[in-house]
Amino acid sequence: MKITSGRVMMSAALLVVAGFLVGLVVSGRLDLTAPSVAAVDDTQPDTAAAAADVAAPAMQPAGLPDLSAIAERALDVSVNISSTSLVRVPVDPFFAPFFGNRVQRSQSLGSGVIVSPDGYILTNTHVVGNQPETLRVTLGDGQERPARLIGTDQISDLAVIKIDETGLPTIPWGDSSRLRVAEWVLAVGNPFQLSGTVTLGIVSTVSRAVGAYQDFIQTDAAINPGNSGGALINARGELVGINTMIYSETGGYQGIGFAIPSNTARQIMAELIEHGYVTWGSIGRMTLVGIDANRAQRYGLPSTGAWVQSIARSASAYRAGLEPGDLITAINGQSIASVEDLDRVIVRQKVGSTVTLSVIKEDGRRVELRVPVEPRRSEPR
């Protein structure tokens, strides 16, 4: 009887322990599974370490590139540019005969890039202002120098200035035609007078049509007022663009900035240094407007193209037969949807060459006009 009672008590105790152990397994507090192959096995350190080394690259997420050394070199060639412009302020017509037009001084601040050891600096035309004698450059080390204007170009918005220094740091030119979407870039400049600022982003689009150009680099690297004329640098530390403008509804950064590609900037810079101006293609002075739906319906014309509102008699296009009321639908066989499309093609034509305009005359006739390309340039100041 005692033996039976003891056995019962022992069985009961075993059941309690077993239930407790099962509860631990179910609740996850007791791990009865075999050790994972990714865990370190103290009895086989060499094999486990090798397995960990092989697995690590596949398991670790890719990190951002370390661009600190590149940024430091870019800051060395970045400068702050200040200048003064004279701006005419409108006067109430009643007081104009007594006081005339009022002129106000406007301070301009922007950025630039040192492109040669002997002091040539590339920037934007709108940064240098219209009073070249007021140009001042602040170098990366804080030293300030007077600068002289070498040349400006209104169409590309590029300008070259120079300071009397030698042995200045530079960075290599990059080939902007090799840029790829999502490639890392740094924007360097002086936004809001905050000198030596570097922002990181990617190339959003390698060729964006804006104004007379169709090859702006679009980037989401933060570009703000004051960044104009600054450098756009790739992850190899090469100059791939000149920051020029932003798209913004507030006046500040919204993730859409534009830079002139380095291949274009380098070519224009060479002309500015040699001549002080850049020669572009033209077919004469005229006023072109887009063709709206009402005008197209009234005259039975296509809804795309460039409609000639007026044209100078001295224009090569006028001498070739282009008249007010004509609609230009294509140039060199390439259809145009707007006035900007036409202008982008013409400015790139070699002076002395000939372009073919596809035109619909007012009476509905379709003609082809061969027009000589004339020079159009921004005169040196």
* Residues labelled catalytic: 126, 157, 228
Between the alpha carbon of residue 119 and those of residues 73, 77, 162, 271, the distances in Å are 17, 11, 5, 17
Token couple for 296: 């197209």
- Is 158 within 8 Å of 93 (Cβ atoms)? no
Encoded tokens for 134:
């007021």
Question: Which H or E element spans position 102?
Answer: strand 102-114
CA 292 from centre of chain: 31
Q: Which two tokens stand for residue 139?
A: 């170098």
Quote the distance between the C-alpha of residue 213 and its chain's center: 12
Tell me the DSSP string of 50-71.
HHHHHHHHHHSPP-----HHHH
Which amino acid is residue 179, in one-letter code? L
CB 239 within 8 A of CB 250: no
Which amino acid type is present at position 58? A
Residue 237 Ramachandran class (φ > 0 left, ψ -120 to 50 alpha, else beta): left
Q: What is the DSSP letter of 173?
A: B
**Helix ranges (DSSP H) in 125-207:** 125-128
Per-state percent for the chain, helix, strand, coil, to nearest 5: 25, 35, 40
- Measured between alpha carbons, how far is residue 241 from residues 40, 173, 210, 233 in Å? 50, 9, 15, 7
Q: What is the DSSP letter of 224?
A: -
Give Cα 314 to chain centroid, integer Å: 37
Which tokens hold the place of 246? 């932003």
